[in-house]
Chains A and B, each alone.
Chain A
Amino acid sequence: MKCNDFLKELTDYLDGSADAAVRIELEEHLHWCHDCYVVMNTTKKTIEIYRDNKLYELPETLRTRLHQAIMSKCRGSKPEKKT
């Protein structure tokens, strides 16, 4: 397996959805290819950092205001009837 082939499978590998046979090949490649190991590890870390540091949380005061605005617009508008 070449580094390019490894990269193509990286997403499935990180998601745990790679086939068992492919997974074995990928892990074998990781044993000897330090660059791919680093790329795999730091890509995994990238995903974790974005997942754990949820950006753009909705503040409660804004949330309440938006909710009121949405419901008042809905009240003033009739849903379309099923045709």
Chain B
Amino acid sequence: MAAVTTTPRQKVGWGTANVVVIALALIPVLWMASLSFKTPAAILDPSFVPAQWTWGNYDQILSTSQFIRPLINSIGIGLIATLVAVVLASMAAYAVARLRFPGKGVLIGMALLIAIFPQIALVTPLFNIERAIGLFNTWPGLIIPYIAFGLPLAIYVLSAFFREIPWELEKAAYVDGATPLQAFVKVIAPLAAPGMVTTAILVFLACWNDFLFAISFTSTISSRTAPAAMEYFSGSSQFTVPTGPIAAAACVITIPIIVFVLFFQRRIVAGLTSGAVKG
């Protein structure tokens, strides 16, 4: 969609605006990257570009289980929570988009409530419940809350996607003699896949990002996730704040996000905005 009119001067104006936006988005990230390459001496120099470059900070964090183990936890917990949330949400979203049944409004209202729910309100009771039933400081102790908070988002995005699928194609497949399984595998699944990928990305980002549950429901590196583990770097060296290692860890957990964003930019935007336009 082109703009209403575009004179060369306006083009320059919008181009400048573009550059400003990109700079504002990237400068804090570049600053973090710069810190992660600074030597301990260079950390105490506020210049934006490191005077001396080093891989030392990365060597340090990647050679200790204090960071590697939480990184594995983050990936594992995030993937499992995402998978379960997307499967459960697909079933619910299919029902919301395709079937008539009483209680649909209740389901949507409930999902909305949870989407706006203040997580801190659940930390105290969940902490006590998890201690009582032995889930505290385990993978499931984080996976289950992540699923619950991923579901509303996933149901919203998926039902918006599922409503757009041309379901008549399924009937056409039956007319052509396909079995229900064939109709699903050959016709519906390929149409539903993009929406499910988008949803999975958004849910995974939410799990990857979580900090409050991660510091509340874990106590050792056996289940602590990467964002929560960075907090504990601070204690590891006695008198100085380990700025370099924390910056390196921040870069390591940021890289997958940037890769995701580069690859799936269109899908993430479609997923984020699907609920807003329809609603």
**Pair from one complex:** no
A interface, CB within 8 angstroms of B: none
